[in-house]
Amino acid sequence: MKHIILPILTLGVILTGRADAQTQDPLPSWNETATKAAIIEFVEKVSSDGSPDFVPPEDRIATFDNDGTLWCEQPIYTQLAFAFDRVKALAPEHPEWKTKQPYKAVLDGDLESLKSQGEKGVAEIIAATHAGMTSDEFAKISSDWIATAKHPRFKRPYTECVYQPQLELLAFLRDNGFQTFIVSGGGIEFMRPWTARVYGIAAPQVVGSSIVTEFQMQNGKPVLMRLPKVNFVDDKAGKPVGIGQHIGKRPILAFGNSAGDREMLQYATGGDGARLGLLVYHDDAEREYAYGPAGGLPDSKMGTFPQSLMDEAGKNGWIVVRMKEDWNRAFP
Amino acid sequence: MKHIILPILTLGVILTGRADAQTQDPLPSWNETATKAAIIEFVEKVSSDGSPDFVPPEDRIATFDNDGTLWCEQPIYTQLAFAFDRVKALAPEHPEWKTKQPYKAVLDGDLESLKSQGEKGVAEIIAATHAGMTSDEFAKISSDWIATAKHPRFKRPYTECVYQPQLELLAFLRDNGFQTFIVSGGGIEFMRPWTARVYGIAAPQVVGSSIVTEFQMQNGKPVLMRLPKVNFVDDKAGKPVGIGQHIGKRPILAFGNSAGDREMLQYATGGDGARLGLLVYHDDAEREYAYGPAGGLPDSKMGTFPQSLMDEAGKNGWIVVRMKEDWNRAFP
């Protein structure tokens, strides 16, 4: 019968646009661990007709943090690298920056001095590099940068320092009727120009931090001008608020990697019915980075994973994805 | 050949999910006027492969105002009718409202007295009826109301006082690869529970005004609590800002009906390439309502259409859709 059944299966693949789940692994970069089994089981039980845990497609919402969850956040957040490069690019127009903090620290490459200036220093650099232009102009500036800038260790574009296992998971979720969203502390307008190309996540499905924009007429042309004032911080307790604003539904799956994602996971997994919370635990210094401080790994200012989060994960049944054990590769 | 070609055509319909545009009118409730021809021409030129005006699907963004553009906004905005009904429902818990403004005016059905108290009075009523509960609770309260409340003149649910021609246009746009969004001055959480069912527009594609929400733990359950404080007013110059926040792309088509939509149409039609701006002009007192004051129609506090907007439409090539002439029916 093989010669009859095979063409029928092939037709099925053509018509449905996807291969039979039995014959093709949707998550080849995930090792065959309990983590992978739990993810596949969850996706199947919420998306199978007749399953007691079935969730209709309109409610099959999955939210992903970006920094440290979908792409590398070490040695510094990519957006910070962008801001520092902008300070260097704009420095000729600002000769005073050579002696004025926090710009001096950036121009001198003195990260320790910058750290000592705390969040105020970073906020000033963000305002100087992210405001004072239209949204369209900012999209052009940040897109041009991301097309050419390279990660200092991996020597490849930042958009290629995304996690291959997560690209597979995003596609697997969408193939099963999920809507995938980014919910990141990073700048919403910094991410949107490239998330469709890199993650398959379109601009309206990106939630992030933002500065105030104002509608203006410039030489008869209507624009959105970016002002040096914080509008919304999409981090910690801000993440559920951003989800409420932009999505208007409680996610059934949330994936993060740090203390900034705690409330998003609480919110997602605190609803009724089947829920899944996941956290990337970076324990792979060889292929990527190892940081915590949970589990005794070195502490990190970027994407800190405290022991209290590890404890909460255990208590709430959130799955801790151990990069070293659960993923057989990091980048594409 | 007919007996061979027909099954092939039928197969084509099954595979593509839509009928041949030549044989079926996508906008049967629109009269055969220049307006209808212009809409169809625009949609075809931006969505046809090889057209010099082709726009890729990810940029085929259409934004619609809600009140007066997708559903009836007379004699008062539906959300105001909801707020007034809530005041009546909550009155037994607030005996002081019998003598305290602005509640007294609502309980007495004295719209003139309420009007004399201006926006401050309405803001107090909104705060008293729209805040102090979780987002989930508010969705339940407003959904229960909209399932039973009826329009005072048409004696049918408000969700059946939506414009049939616009339902057809929304479907026609989506059939041609457009993404359709609501961008309304109305409350984002008031609209989201029913827009998918009524308009085919899912919660994340709804942009609107909002109050501040706060992430809280209530008896161990994570919720978003609605606070009596304005977060964002999605009206006038706020509409392009809301579009920037939620959609992150400049629409190529925008449809409104009042002074509150002016900046949205400016923003949408002020971009490069093919653009279409549209305004509903309510000149049909018999089937719906007639109000302006443009063109000498009676003025209206709800959805005012000033002569300056009519003039700007002429100058910018925005199409004024005259209900009486361009639509052969109002409601489904």
User: B5 lies in a domain?
Assistant: no
Q: Are residues A123 and A272 in the same domain?
A: no
**Tens digit of pLDDT for each residue in B263-292?**
999 999 999 999 999 999 999 999 999 999
pLDDT band at B11; cut points 50, 70, 90: very low
Q: Are residues B121 and B190 in the same domain?
A: no
User: B17 lies in a domain?
Assistant: no
User: B22 lies in a domain?
Assistant: no
Q: Are residues B106 and B46 in the same domain?
A: no
Q: Are residues B40 and B55 in the same domain?
A: yes
Average pLDDT over residues B132-156: 97
- B202–A58 CB contact, under 8 Å: yes
CATH, residue A67? 3.40.50.1000
- B179–A204 CB contact, under 8 Å: yes
User: Interface pTM (ipTM) of the complex?
Assistant: 0.92
Q: Are residues A123 and A194 in the same domain?
A: no
**Tens digit of pLDDT for each residue in A32-87?**
999 999 999 999 999 999 999 999 999 999 999 999 999 999 999 999 999 999 99
pLDDT value of position A22: 54
pLDDT value of position A185: 97
pLDDT value of position B111: 86
Q: Are residues A85 and A186 in the same domain?
A: no
Share of chain A above pLDDT 90, in %: 89
Amino acid in position A125: I
- With tokens 């000769």, the residue in question is A95
Of A224, A238, A267, the CB nearest to B241: A224
- Residues B242 and A4: their CA atoms lie apart, in Å, by 55
- Quick one: angle between helices B188-199 and B135-148, nearest 10? 50
Q: Are residues B95 and B210 in the same domain?
A: no
Q: Are residues A227 and A94 in the same domain?
A: no
Q: How many CB atoms lie within 10 A of CB A216?
A: 13
Which residues in chain A are contacts of B195 at CB distance < 8 A? none
**Terminal Cα-to-Cα distance of chain A (whole angstroms):** 39
pLDDT value of position A101: 94
- B204–A203 CB contact, under 8 Å: no
Residue ending a domain, choose from B148, B182, B204: B148
**Terminal Cα-to-Cα distance of chain B (whole angstroms):** 40
Average pLDDT over residues B172-188: 98
User: B260 lies in a domain?
Assistant: yes
**Which among A324, A267, A331, A256 has a CA at the least distance from the CA of A295?**
A324
pLDDT band at A16; cut points 50, 70, 90: very low
Q: Which tokens sit at B104?
A: 């007294």
Q: Are residues A121 and A246 in the same domain?
A: no
Write b or e for each residue in B67-77: b if 16 or more Cβ atoms lie within 10 A of its Cβ, otherwise e. Answer: bbbbbbbbeeb
Chain B residues whose C-beta sits inside 8 Å of any chain A C-beta: 58, 135-136, 179, 181, 188-189, 192, 196, 202-206, 210, 213-215, 217, 221-222, 224, 231, 237-238, 240-241, 244-250, 263, 266-267, 270
The pLDDT of residue A14 is above 60: no
Size of interface A-B (CB pairs under 8 A): 90
- With tokens 């609590």, the residue in question is B225
Domain total in chain A = 2
Q: How many helices (H) and strands (E) does chain B have?
A: 13, 7
**Which among A256, A294, A306, A295 has a CA at the least distance from the CA of A278?**
A256
**Which among B225, B230, B223, B229 has a CA at the least distance from the CA of B213?**
B225
Give the Cα-Cα-Cα angle B168, B174, B179 (nearest 5 degrees).
125
Average pLDDT over residues B295-306: 95
Residue ending a domain, choose from B148, B167, B202: B148
**Tens digit of pLDDT for each residue in B74-89?**
999 999 999 999 999 9
Averaged pLDDT score across all residues of chain A = 93
The tally of CA atoms less than 13 A away on the side-chain side of residue A13 is 12
User: B331 lies in a domain?
Assistant: no
- Residues A149 and A144: their CA atoms lie apart, in Å, by 9
- Residues B139 and B142: their CA atoms lie apart, in Å, by 5
What single-letter DSSP state applies at residue B75?
Answer: S
* A291 touches A303 (CB < 8 A): yes
**Which among B293, B292, B264 has a CA at the least distance from the CA of B278?**
B264
Measured in angstroms, the CA of B211 and the nearest CA of chain A are apart by 10
Average pLDDT over residues B27-54: 98
- Residues A238 and A234: their CA atoms lie apart, in Å, by 5
Q: Are residues A315 and A205 in the same domain?
A: yes
Which residues in chain B are contacts of A177 at CB distance < 8 A? none
For residues A301 and B223, the model is more confident at B223
Which residues in chain A are contacts of B247 at CB distance < 8 A? 203-204
* A108 touches A120 (CB < 8 A): no
Is omega for the bond preceding A222 within 30 degrees of 0, making it cis? no
Which residues in chain B are contacts of A244 at CB distance < 8 A? 135, 213, 224
In chain A, the residue whose alpha carbon lies closest to the alpha carbon of B238 is A215
Q: Are residues B186 and B68 in the same domain?
A: yes
Which residues in chain A are contacts of B248 at CB distance < 8 A? 188-189, 192, 203-204, 206
- Residues B247 and A56: their CA atoms lie apart, in Å, by 24
- Comparing A23-27, A143-147, B7-11, B254-258, the range with the smallest average pLDDT is B7-11
pLDDT value of position B301: 87
User: B209 lies in a domain?
Assistant: yes
Between strands B61-64 and A319-322, the pairing is unpaired
Q: Which tokens sit at A25?
A: 């692994």
Which residues in chain B are contacts of A238 at CB distance < 8 A? 215
Average pLDDT over residues B123-137: 95
Rg (CA), chain A: 22
pLDDT value of position A139: 97
Measured in angstroms, the CA of A318 and the nearest CA of chain B are apart by 16
User: B287 lies in a domain?
Assistant: yes
What single-letter DSSP state applies at residue B54?
Answer: -
The pLDDT of residue B5 is above 80: no
What single-letter DSSP state applies at residue A272?
Answer: S
DSSP string computed for A236-272? TTHHHHHHHHHT-S--SEEEE-SGGGHHHHHHHHTSS
- Comparing A234-248, A317-331, B112-126, B179-193, the range with the smallest average pLDDT is B112-126
- Comparing B104-113, B140-149, B227-236, B260-269, the range with the smallest average pLDDT is B104-113
Q: How many CB atoms lie within 10 A of CB B306?
A: 15
Measured in angstroms, the CA of B68 and the nearest CA of chain A are apart by 23
User: A13 lies in a domain?
Assistant: no
**Tens digit of pLDDT for each residue in A193-210?**
999 999 999 999 999 999
What single-letter DSSP state applies at residue B299?
Answer: P
Q: Are residues B136 and B166 in the same domain?
A: no
Q: How many residues does chain A have?
A: 332
Tell me which residue range forms the domain holding B107.
78-148
Q: How many residues does chain B have?
A: 332
Measured in angstroms, the CA of A19 and the nearest CA of chain B are apart by 19
- A188–B245 CB contact, under 8 Å: yes
CA distances from B297 to B75, B284, B301 (A): 15, 10, 13
In chain B, the residue whose alpha carbon lies closest to the alpha carbon of A249 is B203
- Residues A276 and A255: their CA atoms lie apart, in Å, by 8
**Tens digit of pLDDT for each residue in A160-197?**
999 999 999 999 999 999 999 999 999 999 999 999 99
Residue ending a domain, choose from B122, B148, B174: B148
Amino acid in position A160: E
pLDDT value of position A301: 87
pLDDT band at B22; cut points 50, 70, 90: low
